[in-house]
């Protein structure tokens, strides 16, 4: 690049500065997508039980070309020395609101739900009749400062879920990647619902009525015919029923946030009655019904750090919930439970290991199992031939918090490790010198 810059400067002088910028930008863009060979690392492919030592990973056109020992490196590949490092697939959080909020208490930055209440304390709003038809994908913000903050700790993809708003069925979620642009990968990834004392307020305060509402809504969706439907008071709008009908036919999972064992049973029955793939999120008491969840092949998204009996619905919460579920044969996925710190996902996984979960299972819970559960495509969440080239080079064991991510690749492109936090650190790390007053 230096030779190219000198050439333009010599031939065009100061007027060529714009051409220099264009040329440099083009060169950097091509380099970021260049074919890459990562050599010397310990690689966790998630396709094999044991890691591959002293391995080479070949990446080309955004995909994994090959992983193994003593691979020949094709001409033109950028060689990255990762000797002594650990490489894993990029991490996937299975339940976030990334891209939908920036500051929780500032309503103008929150797009997580449809609600009848003003988020800035302005009181009741005119109800907006949208529940299962709500779709988060239209509001996703690629300029959110939360994306680079969490990306530099190895988070490469995330499931973005709506929160409960006007109805127990909150609407469509989406899959995003934590890049600087084009973050939406898959809209209408799953339908999200809630069974709790709080969401029962939508149905007069009774969880029984809430479950009936879910059954009734899905039944009405199966019978819905445009032009023949007459909405009844409290019934779903044609838009909501059309969305529910598309959901049932799509084969996408229904993700229900629920904690109490009895309501988990009700959710399983609901999914069985309508032949819908089910995913449980929360599941503080899921360990009590682990055998049922295993038999019905229902994955559970767990925040291991949310292990206190903070409500009557979570009296059975315990530290080893994830371990007990795994031992029963349940597919366990992890979530950080904190949008500003989705990067805590590896701490969640590490705590699960501390409570008896096998290390490989904990890594799978934040890589290939979310990819399988949400149908993210063949090879996603792994480092195998043909898989998307989402990977992280770590200084050591990624579930040990004294280690860190050194480089992050998403879809074959190396990502910036800069964030608002790193820029603030560099700005204020020293007050010495002749910095302007605004830096003091």
Q: Which residue has the higher pLDDT, 357 or 24?
A: 357
- pLDDT value at position 429? 83
Q: Can you tell me the distance from the alpha carbon of 382 to that of 368, in angstroms, rounded to the nearest whole number?
A: 6
Task: Supply the pLDDT for residue 30.
Answer: 40
Tell me what pLDDT residue 126 has: 54
Mean pLDDT (the chain) is 88
Nearest to 143 by CA among 181, 106, 176: 181
Q: Phi first, then psi: what are they for 276, rounded to 5°? A: -115, 135
> What domains can be seen in the chain, in order of their start residue?
32-89+383-440 (2.30.40.10), 91-380 (3.20.20.140)
Q: What is the pLDDT of residues 124-148, one digit of tens each?
A: 555 666 789 999 999 999 999 999 9
CB 143 within 8 A of CB 178: no
Short-list 408, 440, 411, 417, CA closest to 427: 440
Cβ of 416: how many Cβ atoms within 10 Å? 13
**pLDDT per position as a tens digit, 166-224:** 788 999 999 999 999 999 999 999 999 999 888 888 788 889 999 999 999 999 999 99
Please state which of the ranges 227-231, 258-262, 342-346 shows the lowest mean pLDDT. Answer: 227-231
Tens-digit pLDDT profile for residues 334-387: 999 999 999 999 999 999 999 999 999 999 999 999 999 999 999 999 999 999
In terms of pLDDT, which residue wins out, 83 or 238?
83
Summarised one tens digit per residue, pLDDT across range 27-37 is 333 445 569 99
What percentage of the chain has pLDDT greater than the value 90? 73
């Amino acid at each position: 690049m230096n030779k190219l810059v000198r050439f333009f400067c010599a031939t065009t002088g100061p007027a060529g500065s714009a051409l220099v910028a264009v040329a440099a930008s083009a060169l950097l863009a091509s380099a970021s997508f260049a074919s890459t060979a990562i050599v010397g690392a310990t690689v966790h492919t998630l396709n094999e039980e044991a890691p591959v030592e002293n391995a080479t990973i070949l990446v080309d056109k955004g995909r994994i070309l090959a992983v193994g020992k003593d691979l020949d490196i094709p001409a033109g590949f950028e060689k990255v020395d990762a000797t002594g490092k650990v490489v894993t697939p990029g991490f996937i959080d299975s339940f976030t609101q990334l891209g939908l909020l920036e500051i929780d208490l500032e309503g103008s930055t929150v797009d997580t739900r449809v609600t009848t209440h003003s988020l800035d304390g302005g009181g009741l709003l005119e109800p907006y009749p949208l529940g299962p038809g709500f779709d988060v994908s239209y509001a996703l913000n690629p300029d959110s400062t939360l994306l680079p903050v969490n990306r530099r700790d190895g988070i490469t993809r995330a499931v973005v879920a709506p929160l409960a708003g006007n109805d127990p069925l909150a609407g469509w979620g989406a899959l995003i990647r934590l890049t600087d642009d084009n973050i939406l990968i898959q809209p209408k990834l799953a339908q999200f619902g809630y069974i709790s004392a709080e969401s029962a307020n939508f149905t007069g305060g009774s969880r029984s009525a809430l479950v009936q509402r879910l059954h009734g809504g899905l039944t009405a969706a199966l019978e819905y015919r445009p032009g023949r439907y007459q909405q009844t008071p409290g019934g779903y709008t044609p838009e909501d029923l059309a969305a529910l009908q598309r959901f049932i036919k799509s084969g996408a999972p229904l993700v229900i946030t629920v904690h109490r064992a009895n309501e988990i049973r009700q959710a399983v029955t609901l999914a069985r009655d309508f032949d819908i793939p089910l995913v449980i999120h929360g599941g503080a008491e899921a360990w009590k019904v682990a055998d049922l969840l295993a038999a019905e092949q229902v994955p559970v998204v767990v925040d291991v750090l949310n292990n206190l009996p903070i409500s009557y619905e979570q009296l059975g919460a315990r530290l080893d919930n994830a371990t007990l579920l795994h031992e029963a044969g349940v597919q366990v996925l992890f979530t950080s439970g904190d949008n500003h710190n989705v990067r805590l996902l590896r701490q969640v996984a590490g705590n699960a290991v501390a409570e008896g979960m096998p290390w490989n299972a904990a890594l799978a819970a934040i890589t290939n199992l979310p990819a399988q559960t949400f149908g993210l495509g063949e090879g996603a969440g792994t480092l195998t031939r043909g898989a998307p080239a989402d990977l992280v080079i770590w200084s050591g064991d990624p579930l040990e918090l004294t280690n860190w991510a050194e480089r992050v690749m998403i879809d074959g492109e190396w990502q910036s490790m800069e964030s608002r936090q790193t820029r603030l650190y560099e700005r204020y790390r020293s007050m010495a010198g002749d910095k302007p007053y605004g830096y003091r």
